[in-house]
Amino acid sequence: MEIKLILCGILLSIISLCLAEDVQVKVKGVTSIARTDENFVCATLDWWPINKCDYNQCPWGKAGLLNLDLNNKILSNAIKAFNPLRIRLGGSLQDQVVYNVGNAVEKCSQFRKKKDGLFGFTQGCLQMERWDELNDLFSKTGVKLTFGLNALFGKTPSKQDKVLWVGDWNPQNTLDFMEYTLSKGYKIDSYELGNELCSEGVSAKIESEQYAKDFLRLKEIVYQFYPNASTRPKLLGPAGFYGKDWFNSFLKYTGPGVVDCLTHHIYNLGAGVDKTLIDKVQDPYFLDQVAQTYRDISKTVEEFGPWSGAWVGEAGGAYNSGGKDVSHTFANGFWYLDQLGMTSTFNHKVFCRQALIGGNYGLLNTTTFIPNPDYYGALLWHRLMGKTVIESNHDGSPFLRVYSHCSKKGSGVTLLIINMSNSSSFDVSVTNDLNLYPEEISSILLTEDSSSQQREEYHLTPKDGNIQSDIVLLNGNPLKLTESLDIPEMKPNVVDGSSPIKVAADSIVFVNLKNFKAPACA
């Protein structure tokens, strides 16, 4: 019986390939539609202690900033592979972290459970010895670092509204921390003020006018400590969920040239315990719903802060540490890589994945540090997809997503093709929609442009066809660490450009078209 089932499965796979749907993708290579930062892919490290638990599970282990094994070889090799990786230090407990330097803090103890504390914890402490150890790792691995500052220091809850915090920010602990950081020569790419305090807040909130006042004070401090504009860290905020009126007001109160990057958070898949999570990550109609938020953020930047750029400062997909059976598996790549593609088209500069390690949504396994499938998807994006975003479209199935960028290295364009269908495969042909010539002439140019040339393909599929597998295959071969615990080399298949791109069901494909003539990439 088992042999019959296996044979039936093989037969169905063969039939699916034979009945692949032909899809023509048009890439409009004349002009770009958006630009990302050079280091668009970003990952976070969080403050959560071991006893951060949700849904009767405690998935953080020793992955928090205060107890992470910084000497783990896999961790350092995973960061080095990006050369460089942008990392954001922050998270829910950020506004309860004090820095044990100077005289502003009387008591510096570790996080403890507290029923009426923010997020159920007391204040926690960053010792300067630990800060030294973290920076030793960041220096050796070439990290571009964003540090999230405590924005509630000196504030108190309102007597009328316990979620609302009032009063001016006390910057003294931050002043002492920056002074120490500079004295050690530690490189900070950007500072972010507070975490999820905007709009309606999460566990606490600040009014937009007060937050703008605090942000302007931070700007004064950063200019004081970093007088050289070429080495001055950028300023990021508000690091929370988008609310149109609050965000617009914040940018108006801060004024021109103050906010370098407008950061917002996305957890569009809902709760990690949601039993329909596996369906949501494969549903293009559901995934499309968040596009309006990206469009609204882009409009806010355009109208009220054109000197700044939009960032997704934190995105874990499913909140409360992610889904234990989904967020670390191949299936999560349908959500994650689609979000990278979608946000880039809405002119977002950076996308920070929650988390590099920790919870169920870590790019690395919380216990073993072995990369999960999304790590390899992130690395391929970082290496292949350039800053310039080009429009692409097709009239095929909505389960087939296509995003195109100028290639990161060399000429041509690189496509990201995501097939969320578990039953349909596609034969994809790519045409260069120059929109400059009559159709007959354009088709001749297209033939000369791509058909006779070779291309490079990177096909990502799950082991044994199980989308909830932690093991991802590249061109049919499992991606696993080398004997020396290095990230494996990821070589493409070199394919005759005259043939269509064969996109299997439940697969993700990067395609590098080196000879694709796109004026926008010149």
Q: Virtual CA dihedral for 296, 301, 303, 305, nearest 10 degrees?
A: 160
Q: Strand 413-419 vs strand 400-407: parallel, antiparallel, or unpaired?
A: antiparallel
In the residue annotation, 196 being an active-site residue is answered as: yes
Q: Which of 192, 207, 314, 457 is catalytic?
A: 314
Q: Write the CA distances from 439 to 28, 129, 404, integer angstroms.
A: 14, 66, 22
Q: Amino acid letter at 50?
A: I
- In order, the DSSP letters of 179-216 are HHHHHTT---SEEEE-SS-STT-SS-B--HHHHHHHHH
The residues near 41 (Cβ < 8 Å, ≥ 6 apart) are: 82, 85, 86, 340, 351, 353, 378, 381, 382
Cis ω before 238 (30° cut-off from 0): yes
Contacts for 267-270: CB closer than 8 Å, 24+ residues apart: 267/315, 267/316, 267/317, 267/318, 267/319, 268/293, 268/317, 269/317, 269/318, 269/323, 269/335, 270/318, 270/319
**Which tokens sit at 268?**
């569009």
Q: Is 35 helix (H, G, I), strand (E, B) or coil?
A: strand
457 is catalytic: no
Choosing from 192, 196, 391, 456, which is the catalytic residue?
196
Would you state the structure tokens that stand for residue 479, as one six-digit string? 């991606």
Task: From 172, 169, 182, 195, select the one nearest 106 (Cα to Cα).
Answer: 172
Q: Cβ distance 192 to 88 under 8 Å?
A: yes
Output the six-digit token pair for 356.
Answer: 């590099």
> Is 297 exposed, middle or buried, given 0-12, 13-18 or 19+ CB atoms closer than 10 A?
buried
Nearest to 507 by CA among 20, 1, 7: 20
Catalytic residues, by residue number, are 196, 314
